[in-house]
Chain A
Amino acid sequence: MQIDIKAREIKPVRQTYTHLKERFGDKPMSRYQEAIYDVQARENFHYRPTWEPDRELFDPARTRITMGDWYKFLDPRQYYYGAYCITRGRQQDSVEQNFRFVEKRGLVAAMRDENRALVLTHVVPLRHYEWGAYLNNNQICHRGYGTALTAAAQFHAADRLGNAQYLTRMALLLTGNDPAALEAGHGAWMDNDAWQPLRRLMEDSLVVEDWFELFVAQNIAMDGLVHPLFFDRLEKKMTSQGDALLAMLTEFTAEWFAEEKRWADRQIQVAAAENPENKALLSGWYGKWRDLAVEAAKPLAGAVLGDAGEAEAIAADMDARMRKAGLEV
C-alpha cells in the first residue's frame, strides 16, 4: 500500500550543469557524472610552471597519447570520493575480522617455519614495492589530464598505501611487533639479489616522464606480474600446505587487484580504441615493460614458487588481458 504524502512540488529550471547538458542533454545526472566531468581547468592559464616552463599547468602534451575527449576515461566502478571511501570503509570490517581470527586461533604459531620465513623475506619487502606504486600513481594524478583518469589514479595511490600498511601490520603480527622484521624486509629490498631486478625496474619507472607510459609500466605490466605472483600463486601454494594466514591477511589486496584490473584494463582499451597511433604506442610500451617485468619477476618466482618459469605463465594471462583490451601483443 502506498501512503500519499502531500509535498509541495516546485518545478526545477534545469536538471544539471551546462557542461553535462552539452554532453547528455538536460536530464538528471548521476553523482559520478557531476563529480568527474570537466572539473579540471582547461584554458587561460596564467603562468608557466616553474618546474616545467615549456608546458601549461594542465597540459595534454605530457603524454604522447592523444584523445579527442579526455573524459572517455571513465571508471567502471564509478568512484567519486564518497562512493570510494564508503566502499573501502566497508571492506575494512572483514579485514579486521581476518586479523582477529588469525590472532584468536593462534595461526601465527601454527604456521610452518619455512613459510613464515618466506613471508618475512619475500612478501614483507613488497611494502616498498607498494610505496613505489603509490608514488607513481600520485605522479599520474599530478601530471595526467582530465579528472576522469586523474581522480581514479589518486584513489589508486591511496589503495597502494593501504596495501603497504596491511603488509606492515602482517609483519608486526608475525613477529610480535618486532620492527627488526621490517628492517630485514627493507634490507632484502635494498640488497637481496632476488629483489634487485624489481627494485631497479621500479626506480626506472619513477623517472618515466610520459604519464601514460608510466600507467602501462606500473598499473599494467609490473602489477600484472607481481600481484598474481604473490597474492595468487604463492597464497594458493601456502594455503594448499595448510597455511591460510597469508591469504587471510592479504585478502583485501587480492580482492583489490581483481577490482583494480577492471579499471586499468578499461583505460588501455579506451586509449587504444581512440586511434591507431595510440594503439601502436601502447603496444610498444606494453611490450617493453612486460618483458622487463617478466625478467624482474623470474628470480622472485624462483625463490617463492621454486619455478622461475612461472613468471612467463603469469605474463601469458596478462597478455590475454591486453589483447582483449585491443593491443598488439
Chain B
Amino acid sequence: MARMTLKERYHHMTRLGWQPTYQPMEKVYPQATYEGIKVRNWDDWEDPFRMTMEAYWKYQGEKERKLYAIMDSFAQNNGHLNLSDARYVNALKLFLQGVTPLEYQAHRGFARQARQFPGEGASVACHMQSLDELRHTQTQIHTLSHYNKYFDGFHDFTRWHDRVWYLSVPKSFFDDASTAGPFEFIVSVGFSFEFVLTNLLFVPFMSGAAYNGDMSTVTFGFSAQSDESRHMTLGLQAVKFMLEQHEDNVPIVQQWIDKWLWRGYRVLSLVAAMQDYMLPESPMSWKEAWEIYFEENGGALFQDLERYGIRMPDYAPICAAEKDHLSHQVWGILYNHTAAAAFHTWVPDERKMDWLSAKYPDTFDKYYRPRLEYWRELEQKGERYYSQTLPLICQTCQIPMGFTEVANGDPMQVAYRSTEYNGDRYHFCSDPCQAIFEREPEKFVHAWLPPQQIFQGNCGGASLEDVLKWYNIQPGDNLDYAGSPDEQRWLEWKGLAAAREAAE
C-alpha cells in the first residue's frame, strides 16, 4: 500500500463537494457573497484540526461516558453540600440563564455556516463545532439539573432567557451574531468570542467552580477544554483565511473585530461582577484576568495580525481604564435591581471587601467600599434598597446606564450618549456602543429593549408584580441572599441553623 500522510488522508476524507452545474452557485450558496468578503479560492483553507467522524465519535463518546459518571456520582452523594457557600450557586444560575442558551444558538449558527460556506474544509470544521455546542448546551442542562432540585433560580431558564431584562444582554449579543452573514458570524463567535475572550468567560466560571468545591461543574469544564481548543483554532484560521484571500477583506474584518470585541466585552461585564462578587473563593480578580487574557495574550495576537494590516481596536484604552471599575459598577446595578432578577445579590462581608481592596487598591476603598457600607447600614436598619424604577438601558449592549466617564477622568459621572435616527432618539452607555449603532442603525432599532417593552404593555402589565408573573420569577428566585430559601436550606443542611439562632 502506498504511504499517505495524515494531512493527505484527511484531505480525501473531507474534500467531498463538487461545483454545481444544474443549479447556479449563488442559489446553492446564497449567503456566500452578500457581506462583500472576497474568496479567491476555498482550496487555500488550512484545516485547523484533522478529525474524522470516526475519531470524533470515539473520542467524544469516551469523554461523555466519563462526564456522566461524575455527574451521577455528584448527584448520588449530594455533592452540593461540599460547596464553599451557597452564595456560590448564584454564579451557576447566571451561567444556565445567560450562557447555556448561547451555546445552543452557537449550535444552530454553526450548522448554518456548515451549510453556507462553499469550502468543504470550513464546512466540516463548523459542523463539528455545531455538534460540540449542542454538547455544551445539553451537558450544562444535565450538570445543573441537580442544582435545580435543591436551589431556586434555575427552574425556568429558557423562559427567562427570552424575557428577563438582564438576559437581553447576552441574548441580543448572540441574536446580533446569528442574524449577521456567515463571515461576520464566524468573526464574532469564532474569533472575537472563542479565540480572544473565551478565557475571560471560562476561567471565572470553571476555576470558580474548582475554588468553591463544585466538582460537577469543574469536570464539565475540563471535559469541554479540548472542544474549546478546536473552536479557538477554527476562529483564528477563519480570520486569517479571510485576510489572506483578498486585501479588500481587511477593512471589513477590522470593523467586525472592533464591533465584536466591544460587544463581547460588554457581555463579559456581567461575568466580571460574578467573578469579583459572587464567588466566595475567587481564583483571580476581573482586573487580573483582563490583564492576562486580553492585554497580554490579546496584545500578542494583535501584534501577530499586524502583518495583515489588522490593529488593536481604538477603544482598548477605555477597557484598560474601566478594568478598575467594571465589576463594582455592574454589581451595583445588579444589587439595585435584584427584585426583578432570578438570582440573589448581597453586600460582601468584611473578608471579601478586604480582598477587593487588595485587588483594586486604587479604586475600591475610594469609590466603592463606602457605597457598599452605606447599603449595609440600610440593610441593618431593615431598609434594604431596591430600585423602584425602570432603568434607561443602552440601545446596543442593553445594560442599564451605570458605566461612568472613567476613560475621560471622571469616574463619578455616569456616561450618557445619544443619537437621532429617523426622528427618534437612541441612548447609549459609551462611544463604542454608539458607533456600533451608527454603522447599522436599521438593524439596531429592532432591539427588543425590556424597559420599553414593559412600558408598551408587552410584559404582563405595568407593576413589578405583573412583570414578575410574566417572567415567572417566583418567591425565592429573586431578592437578597439574606433571608432567601436558598440560605435557609443551606444553613439547615450544614447544621448551622441552630447555631445561628443561638447566637442571635
Residue of chain B at shortest CB distance from A86: B61
Most buried by A among B28, B65, B145, B472: B145
Residues of A within 8 A of B64 (CB): 81-82, 85-86
- A residues 104-142 near B (Cβ < 8 Å) are 127-128, 130-131, 134-135, 138-139, 141-142
User: Cβ of B448 and Cβ of A161 under 8 Å apart?
Assistant: no
- B68 at interface (Cβ–Cβ under 8 A)? yes
- B130 at interface (Cβ–Cβ under 8 A)? yes
User: Cβ of B155 and Cβ of A14 under 8 Å apart?
Assistant: yes
- A residues 60-106 near B (Cβ < 8 Å) are 80-82, 85-92, 95
- B487 at interface (Cβ–Cβ under 8 A)? no
Residues of A within 8 A of B152 (CB): 13
Q: Which of B15-23, B307-315, B350-358 contacts A (4 or more CB under 8 A)?
A: B15-23
Known: A92-B58, A172-B4. A203 touches B159 (CB 8 A): no
Range for the number of chain B residues in contact with chain A: 35 or more
- A35 at interface (Cβ–Cβ under 8 A)? yes
- B31 at interface (Cβ–Cβ under 8 A)? yes
Residues of A within 8 A of B138 (CB): 34-35, 80-82
Known: A88-B61, A127-B16. A200 touches B172 (CB 8 A): no
Min CB distance A172 to B, Å, is 7
Residue of chain B at shortest CB distance from A43: B162
- B residues 167-212 near A (Cβ < 8 Å) are 168, 171-172, 175-176, 178-181
- B62 at interface (Cβ–Cβ under 8 A)? yes
- A246 at interface (Cβ–Cβ under 8 A)? no
- B137 at interface (Cβ–Cβ under 8 A)? yes
- Chain A 5-17, CB-CB to B under 8 Å as 1, else 0, gives 0011010111111
Residue of chain B at shortest CB distance from A157: B127
Q: Which of B84-92, B103-111, B275-283 contacts A (4 or more CB under 8 A)?
A: B103-111
Residue of chain B at shortest CB distance from A147: B104
- A3 at interface (Cβ–Cβ under 8 A)? no
Residue among A12, A85, A135, A151 making CB contact with B60, cutoff 8 Å? A85
User: Cβ of A177 and Cβ of B53 under 8 Å apart?
Assistant: no
Residues of A within 8 A of B413 (CB): none
User: Cβ of A142 and Cβ of B148 under 8 Å apart?
Assistant: no
- A50 at interface (Cβ–Cβ under 8 A)? yes
Known: A17-B148, A142-B112, A182-B12. A207 touches B23 (CB 8 A): yes
Q: Which of A162-170, A260-268, A283-291 contacts B (4 or more CB under 8 A)?
A: A162-170
User: Cβ of A138 and Cβ of B127 under 8 Å apart?
Assistant: yes
Residues of A within 8 A of B159 (CB): 18-19
User: Cβ of A89 and Cβ of B145 under 8 Å apart?
Assistant: no
- A227 at interface (Cβ–Cβ under 8 A)? no
The tally of CB-CB contacts under 8 A between chains A and B is 250
User: Cβ of A41 and Cβ of B101 under 8 Å apart?
Assistant: yes
Min CB distance A22 to B, Å, is 9
Residue among A13, A21, A162, A206 making CB contact with B150, cutoff 8 Å? A13
- A residues 273-310 near B (Cβ < 8 Å) are none
- A269 at interface (Cβ–Cβ under 8 A)? no
Min CB distance B86 to A, Å, is 13
Known: A57-B178, A138-B114. A10 touches B150 (CB 8 A): yes
Residues of B within 8 A of A168 (CB): 12-13, 16
User: Cβ of B52 and Cβ of A165 under 8 Å apart?
Assistant: yes
Residue of chain B at shortest CB distance from A136: B115
User: Cβ of A85 and Cβ of B61 under 8 Å apart?
Assistant: yes
Residues of A within 8 A of B16 (CB): 127-128, 130-131, 134, 161, 164, 168
User: Cβ of B134 and Cβ of A81 under 8 Å apart?
Assistant: yes
Residue of chain B at shortest CB distance from A125: B18
**Bound Cα distance from A182 to B149, whole angstroms:** 54
**Bound Cα distance from A150 to B56, whole angstroms:** 20
Min CB distance A280 to B, Å, is 27
Residue of chain A at shortest CB distance from B2: A177
* Chain B residues within 8 Å of A, Cβ to Cβ: 1-4, 8-9, 12-14, 16-18, 20-23, 27-28, 30-31, 34, 52-54, 56-62, 64-65, 67-68, 76-78, 81, 101, 104-105, 107-108, 111-112, 114-115, 120, 123-124, 127, 130-131, 134-135, 137-139, 141-142, 145, 148-152, 154-159, 161-163, 168, 171-172, 175-176, 178-181, 443-444, 446-448, 453, 472, 485, 489, 493
Besides the known contacts A39-B137, A44-B162, A154-B111, 7 further A-B residue pairs in the complex with CB atoms under 8 A apart: A13-B152, A13-B485, A45-B448, A85-B64, A172-B9, A172-B12, A206-B23
